[in-house]
C-alpha cells in the first residue's frame, strides 16, 4: 500500500511522528506540493493524505491506483468529491479535531470586538491612563454580551459548541442549518432562515462547509440586511464570502466590524480588499 502525504508540514512541522502511518504501508511525505505536481508525486499512490493541496477531477483521472483520499482537516472542499465518487474513490476528513478551538477563537474575536482589551492596553501603554482626569477612561461604548443575539449559520459540531459558549454568556441563539434536528435544550433558542439570522442578530458567525451552492453566499444583498452595529465572523471557509462586498460594507459602515480567520486565497494576495478594510480583524487561519 503506497501512501503519499502531499503537504505534511502544517500537520507535522517536526513535532509529531509519522510512525503510526508508516506502519500501514510505504509512506512518502512532502512538506508542500504545488497543485501542478500532485499527479507526479502521487502517481503510484493508493492513498493520498492532503491538508490544503487541491485534488482536482483532472488529478483524480490521472491517478489509476488511487483508492482513498484523506483530508487532514475539517473542510473537504479541496477535493472534487463528485469526481471521486464517480471513480469509486473514498474521501474522508477529520470532523472533530478543531471543534473546541474554532469555537473558542470565535469567542475571542467577539470579546475583542466588544471589549477592546488589546486596544485599551495599547492606550494605557501610550500614557492615556496616566494623563486621565478620572479613575478610568474609554474611547468606545462599554458593552455587555448578555442579552445580545448570536446568529449561527451551520449548526453542526462547531456551530453547536459556539452556541453553548454564547448561551453561557447569556446570549440568545438563532441558528440555521439545512438539517434541523436535536434542538438544544437551552433557551432562548430559535431556528431561523439564513436571511433572518443575518437580519436579526448582533453577531453572525458561519460554520458550514463550502459547496458549489453556497460559494459567495455572504454578499452585498445579505450584508445589507444586517444591523449597522453588528459583527460578522467567518472561521469556516473564505470562499463563502464575497470579500469585496464585505470590505465595501465595512468601509461604508453598513456593518460595524468583521472577524476573519479564513480568506479565499491563503496566504492572501497583497491586494485582498479585506486587508485594508475598516474594523476588520484578521487572523491567519489558526482557529
Give the residue numbers marked as catalytic: 237, 266, 285
Cell of 212: 458549489
Closest CA to 215 of 242, 183, 252: 242
User: Could you please report the per-residue DSSP string of the chain?
Assistant: -EEEES--TTT-SSSS--HHHHTTSEEEE-S---GGGHHHHTTT-SEEEESSS-B-HHHHHT-TT--EEEESSS--TTB-HHHHHHTT-EEE---STTHHHHHHHHHHHHHHHHH-HHHHHHHHHTTTTTT-SSS---SS-----TT-EEEEE--SHHHHHHHHHHHHTT-EEEEE-SS--S--SSSSEEE--HHHHHHH-SEEEE-----TTTTT-B-HHHHTTS-TT-EEEE-S-GGGB-HHHHHHHHHTTSSSEEEES--SSSSPPTT-GGGG-TTEEE--S--
Residues 143/242/103/114 CA torsion (nearest 10 deg): -10
Q: Is 128 exposed, middle or buried (0-12, 13-18, 19+ CB in 10 A)?
A: middle
Do residues 114 and 207 lie in contact, with contact meaning Cβ atoms separated by under 8 Å?
Answer: no
Amino acid at each position: 500500500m503506497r501512501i503519499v502525504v502531499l503537504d505534511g508540514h502544517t500537520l507535522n512541522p517536526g513535532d509529531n511522528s509519522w510512525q503510526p502511518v508508516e506502519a500501514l504501508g510505504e509512506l512518502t511525505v512532502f512538506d508542500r506540493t504545488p497543485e501542478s505536481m500532485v499527479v507526479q508525486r502521487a502517481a503510484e499512490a493508493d492513498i493520498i493524505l492532503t491538508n490544503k493541496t487541491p485534488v482536482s477531477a483532472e488529478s483524480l483521472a490521472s491517478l489509476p491506483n488511487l483508492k482513498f483520499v484523506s483530508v487532514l482537516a475539517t473542510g473537504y472542499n479541496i477535493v472534487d468529491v463528485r469526481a471521486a465518487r464517480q471513480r469509486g474513490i473514498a474521501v474522508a476528513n477529520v470532523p472533530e479535531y478543531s471543534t473546541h478551538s474554532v469555537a473558542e477563537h470565535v469567542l475571542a474575536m467577539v470579546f475583542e470586538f466588544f471589549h477592546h482589551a488589546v486596544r485599551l492596553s495599547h492606550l494605557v501603554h501610550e500614557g492615556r491612563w496616566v494623563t486621565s482626569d478620572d479613575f478610568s477612561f474609554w474611547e468606545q461604548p462599554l458593552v455587555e454580551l448578555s442579552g445580545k443575539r448570536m446568529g449561527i449559520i451551520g449548526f453542526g459540531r462547531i456551530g453547536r459548541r459556539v452556541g453553548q459558549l454564547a448561551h453561557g454568556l447569556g446570549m440568545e441563539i438563532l441558528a440555521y442549518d439545512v438539517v434541523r434536528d436535536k434542538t438544544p435544550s437551552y433557551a432562548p433558542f430559535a431556528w431561523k432562515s439564513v436571511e433572518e439570522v443575518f437580519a436579526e442578530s448582533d453577531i453572525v458567525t458561519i460554520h458550514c462547509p463550502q459547496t458549489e451552492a453556497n460559494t459567495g453566499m455572504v454578499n452585498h444583498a445579505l450584508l445589507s440586511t444586517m444591523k449597522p452595529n453588528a459583527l460578522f465572523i467567518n472561521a469556516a471557509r473564505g470562499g463563502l464570502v464575497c470579500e469585496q462586498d464585505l470590505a465595501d460594507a465595512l468601509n461604508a459602515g453598513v456593518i460595524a466590524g468583521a472577524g476573519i480567520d479564513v480568506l479565499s486565497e491563503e496566504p492572501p494576495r497583497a491586494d485582498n480588499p479585506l486587508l485594508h478594510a475598516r474594523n476588520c480583524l484578521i487572523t491567519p487561519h489558526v482557529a
